[in-house]
Amino acid sequence: MPYTAIVGLQWGDEGKGKVIDYLAKDYDAVVRFQGGANAGHTVYVNGKKFSFHILPSGLLREDVVGIIGPGVVIDPESFKREVEELSLHVGDLKGRLFVDPRAHIVMPYHKLEDALFEAHSEKPIGTTKRGIGPANRDKYARLGIRIGDILRPSYLKEHINRAYDFNKRIVESYGESFFDRDELWDLLMEFAEYVKPFVVDTVLLLEDLEKSGARILLEGAQGTYLDVSFGTYPFVTSSHTISGGATVGSGIAPWKIKRVIGVFKAYTTRVGEGPFPTEEISEIGERMKEEGGEFGTTTGRARRCGWLDIPLIHYASIINGVTDLFVTKVDVLEKIGIYRAAVEYKLFGERISFPPAYSEDWYHIEPVYKDYPSWEDMINEIEGILKVEVRFVSTGKDREEVIERKGG
């Protein structure tokens, strides 16, 4: 069976957790393909809030298999906490949750380095301080420690020694003391025992699921404009958040993805630093924040809020090859009573229809706005510009508050 990828078309926080949970009723497995505990996917079921950071959001559906692919970086503490909390509601996850041995581990020193980088930088990125950037840095520097390594202690010793010396120099350069080597070893050995029942080669698992006719969702974290290549660099995450990243992070062939659902809010938000052309710094922006509950699931930080940016989501739909659109939080605009979107930009005196490729130019964008009588009219405009249908509209927090349009 072909795969369906779920991607965010803005700066993350588009409501992908709810989207995955809602769609998972029609699927057999959900694969998380990138990111780590810096993600925050929120699902409401009968008024109860569930927060996901590493585990696939579809696991609330008790007949759905959850897979953490090799493209994810795993924080042992966060992983254990999520498994234990979710198990209280859906039962034992062994036999239903699977972790690829090639997924990298976020070490305690990665989180410390992340915090030190931010604290000592003249221009902070605004990271979640969850150690995701340093963990991915070590991955590409061939200094990372993988889930499979901790299940092979004799092999792990060589890896941990190289990683230890490199990261020790970084931390001590800030005048901070480093971790005890034996304590790190014990932490990894303890986690090895915990994670071992979940570890399988997920590439072969997915192959078996495909052959059985399973329907499979690919779950992305963050959003297109936080992608390390296509986002507003350097204010980006350290992984590929786009649909192309789903193939690398899951271990599947690109041609197997037949459907890409792009998720966007009826307005725009951003956490941390970086350009934001349609940001609304006013009482209306504050009202968006309050009505939309715009505070980070992972950090609790307030999100910056602004109007919908159609050129932004149009460009993202091209990058991702979007086939269907899922818009969230139209209920927030209904409460505010204003339906406004940027339909194009002015940049250095010229009108343009897409965001610029040059990062610095983003700070010179002047949005050209259009107001609509209703969110339905705004959605019709989006479909006309993007040539992609809005199949789903979320009208509230709970999983069932969704309108399926045109056959969904």
Rounded CA-CA distance 167/163 in Å is 6
> H or E stretch including 306?
strand 304-309
On whether the CB atoms of residues 16 and 57 are closer than 8 A, the answer is yes
In angstroms, what CA-CA distances link 321 with 9, 230, 318?
11, 14, 5
User: Whole-angstrom Cα distance, residue 276 to residue 352?
Assistant: 16
Closest by Cα among 147, 121, 120, 126 to 135:
147
Distance between start and end Cα atoms, the chain:
19
How remote is the C-alpha of 48 from its chain's centroid?
22
CB 71 within 8 A of CB 242: no
**One-letter amino acid of 112:** L
Please pick, among 28, 41, 138, 314, the residue that the annotation labels catalytic: 41
C-alpha angle 314/320/321, rounded to 5°?
A: 85
- How many Å separate Cα 40 from the centre of its chain? 7
Residue 231 per-residue DSSP state: S
State which H helix or E strand residue 313 sits in: helix 310-320
How far is the C-alpha of 94 from the C-alpha of 199, rounded, in Å? 10
Compute the half-sphere exposure of residue 269: CA atoms within 13 Å on the CB side of its CA.
29
Instruction: Give the total residue count for the chain.
Output: 408
Does the annotation count 41 as an active-site position?
Answer: yes
Token pair, residue 275, equals: 């350009």
Residue 328 in contact with residue 395, Cβ under 8 Å?
no
Annotated catalytic, 182? no
Helix or strand run (H / E) with residue 328: strand 324-328
Catalytic annotation, pick one of 13, 21, 138, 309: 13
Active site residue ranges:
13, 41
